[in-house]
Amino acid sequence: MVDKKKTARQTAFAVLEKVFSEGAYSNIALNQALLEASLSSVDKRLVTEIVYGTVARKMTLEWYLSHVVEDREKLDSWLYILLLMSLYQLQYLDKIPTHAVVNEAVELSKARKKGSEKFVNAVLRRLLRDGVADIASIKRKNKRYSIQYSLPVWLVKVIIEEYGEKRALAIFESLFLRNKASVRVADLSRKEELKQLLQAEDSLLAPSALVKNHGHFAGHALFEEGVITIQDESSQLVAPTLDLQGDEKVLDACSAPGGKTMHIASYLTTGQVTALDLYDHKLTLIEENAQRLGLADRVITKNWMPEGFLRLLEWMPLIKF
């Protein structure tokens, strides 16, 4: 459970620990934290920005820190994560006072391990005084783009070879554009009503989606009631393409966190969808979502069915190798 008295940065720090140390999905960990925290809408936006921004810029932030932290391996993981999220704020969030970032980072570290606050204070103040290292100094082009856009070198190379450098750079830049917050409406007959209640807009991409350009849907009672569920607009296009009649047995071969699985299940009556994933804790998320949406009788998560399947869904990256 998230302590309801936590500040925005404490909440963001807790989420990032789950993501980086426990392998949690950033969107699920964030939504759960926002549901449980007692924060203003402004603070919830700050939490969202810190979490998604730190995750998106992780390789860049790590490269910057490597110039001021001599031996990362000697640092506790929580301490390194705290430095990452603090540097993200200092480097990319111009409207936040630097003293607020440093002071709260110091307090967070002090509360976690007495004495660590001196190290945190020294690192952050050095970054403020001297600035970060210049990425332009990296001579190898693919490595430079890798650090600048927080992408592995092999992926930078593949995209440049596939699309050319000019278009590749546009693709890299687009990765930092924040997606609209989106939900899928379980009962489309209520979509107009829900649009008003949620102060949302119709998606131009998916008929079942409602979107917000700013803000989020986490914390709304309609989510807990299973009336809406968090799902990306593009992934809401998948289930309708399967042309389901209701009695099929469908295999979702890479199912977590379960948005598409639940959407498929909503089309079934006597049929079932079997959701597979490598990790049990991810399948638990699917089970919880199925219960919340009233679809548990149509979703199988751990038992492999020996019979054949009429539909197979496998989520593959659209990149040539």
Query: What residue numbers does the annotated binding site cover?
Result: 254-260, 277
DSSP, res 211 = E
Chain centroid, CA 29 distance in Å: 8
Neighbouring residues of 309: CB distance < 8 A, sequence distance ≥ 6: 248, 249, 250, 251, 274
DSSP character string of 281-308: HHHHHHHHHHHHTT-GGGEESS----S-
Which long-range contacts (C-beta less than 8 Å, at least 24 apart) are formed by 304-307?
A: 304/274, 304/276, 305/249, 305/272, 305/274, 307/249
Q: Give the closest residue to 15 by CA, choosing from 79, 31, 289.
A: 31
Annotated binding site for S-adenosyl-L-methionine: 254-260, 277
Give the Å distances, CA to CA, from 13 to 47, 87, 199, 301.
9, 13, 29, 31
Q: What is d(CA 30, CA 261) in angstroms, rounded to the nearest whole number?
A: 21
Tokens of 140: 């190898």
In which residue are the tokens 């430079």 written?
144
Q: What is d(CA 33, CA 12) in angstroms, rounded to the nearest whole number?
A: 8
Q: Give the closest residue to 11 by CA, choosing from 231, 317, 218, 293.
A: 218
